[in-house]
Amino acid sequence: MKKLIGIDLGGTTVKFAILTEDGEIQQKWSMETDIQNGGRNIVPKIIESIKQRLNLYGLTANHFLGIGMGSPGAVDREKGTVIGAYNLGWTTLQPVKELIEAGTGIPFFIDNDANVAALGERWKGAGEGGANVVFVTLGTGVGGGVIAEGNLISGSSGAAGEIGHIIVDPNGYPCTCGNQGCLETVASATGIVRLARDLSVQFAGESKLKWLIDDGQEVTAKTVFDQAKLGDRLALIVVDKFYFYLGLACGNIANVLNPEAIVIGGGVSAAGEMLLKGVEGYFLKFAFPQVRTSTKIKLAQLGNDAGVIGAASLVKVRKA
């Protein structure tokens, strides 16, 4: 049986894995992302790292069905190029597929990082192989991936699944996309902190969170959830607002797609069961009856491995 290579390219680290065709990870490693020089070193270093590892494990290109990669930025799946991945320094078009295939001699497939994480969770995680799974990733931003009737939906220009730009408050905060009140402005790690700062201004009662903010201490999304778990009154108001916005977005997604599961992942989802229950409360309010009883809200299960597993699955999906 042949093997797969999965690569999860991020702004700080590149994660690699060698997997069986069934998606079991056999080896994994990572390296720092070298964003110097306009990101020009990234692809050569990826090629070098793969060659070095194959050498170490006594493997050759013939042992592999393909390499899959998840990348930030705007990905052209057919041409295998990436543009506008600003956290990598990639402002101009990068011919990633061409370079990696020439450098390794192994067929290469690429997609957007959030889509790839969705494929990973669907294949080996909370999506349980379902034909209809929506993945929402809550990190520095809010990303999404939509799998409908077994297909990853890319849309007419590759922009489908941008769940972070669902508008949950038309009069809300300005978003990087130019609009106002997108989910990303209130449900990303920075969005939650923004909610906390704004709500703390009007809050008059006793609150450790308010004290931390007023004292100028570092407050993160984790601080907010930790304080909410301890029963801090302001923190509970902040997380309830967050649950409302995310529950509203999930309800609307489910009313259109009726997936088996909406899987919530990314750094913020580390808040765990408390977050799940909170979002579910509002989701049940906004989903209509058949959807309410058939679509489940779940927490992602693969953690850091979702990217490499999903990336590897691209090889199987696209080669088929």
The nearer residue to Zn ion, 54 or 175, going by C-beta atoms, is 175
Residue type, 168: V
In the region spanning residues 187 to 216, those forming contacts with Zn ion, defined by CB under 5 A, are: none
In the region spanning residues 84 to 103, those forming contacts with Zn ion, defined by CB under 5 A, are: none
Considering the complex, what minimum distance in angstroms separates the CB of residue 159 from Zn ion? Answer: 12
Three-class secondary structure of residue 237 per DSSP: helix
The nearer residue to Zn ion, 15 or 165, going by C-beta atoms, is 165
Distance CA(18)–CA(199), nearest Å, equals: 46
Considering the complex, what minimum distance in angstroms separates the CB of residue 172 from Zn ion? Answer: 10
Considering the complex, what minimum distance in angstroms separates the CB of residue 164 from Zn ion? Answer: 6
The nearer residue to Zn ion, 177 or 274, going by C-beta atoms, is 177
Considering the complex, what minimum distance in angstroms separates the CB of residue 115 from Zn ion? Answer: 18
Strand spans (E) along 113-188: 133-138, 142-148, 151-152
Considering the complex, what minimum distance in angstroms separates the CB of residue 224 from Zn ion? Answer: 22
Q: How buried is residue 22: exposed, middle or buried, by Cβ count under 10 Å (0-12/13-18/19+)?
A: exposed
> Which residues touch 197 (CB under 8 Å, ≥6 apart)?
213, 219
The nearer residue to Zn ion, 195 or 314, going by C-beta atoms, is 195
Closest C-alpha among 252, 294, 246 to residue 266: 246
The nearer residue to Zn ion, 165 or 316, going by C-beta atoms, is 165
Considering the complex, what minimum distance in angstroms separates the CB of residue 166 from Zn ion? Answer: 9
Considering the complex, what minimum distance in angstroms separates the CB of residue 187 from Zn ion? Answer: 11
Distance CA(306)–CA(120), nearest Å, equals: 5
End-to-end CA distance of the chain: 16
How many residues lie near Zn ion (CB under 5 A)? 5
Element counts in the chain: helices (H) and strands (E) = 11, 12
- Per-residue binding string, Zn ion, 148-187, x by CB under 5 A, is -----------------x---------x-x-x--x-----
Closest C-alpha among 196, 209, 316, 222 to residue 274: 222
Q: What distances in angstroms separate CA 155 from CA 115, 145, 160, 161, one per listed residue?
A: 12, 11, 5, 8
CB 14 within 8 A of CB 34: no
The nearer residue to Zn ion, 179 or 301, going by C-beta atoms, is 179
The nearer residue to Zn ion, 174 or 303, going by C-beta atoms, is 174
In the complex, the residues that contact Zn ion under the rule CB under 5 A are 165, 175, 177, 179, 182
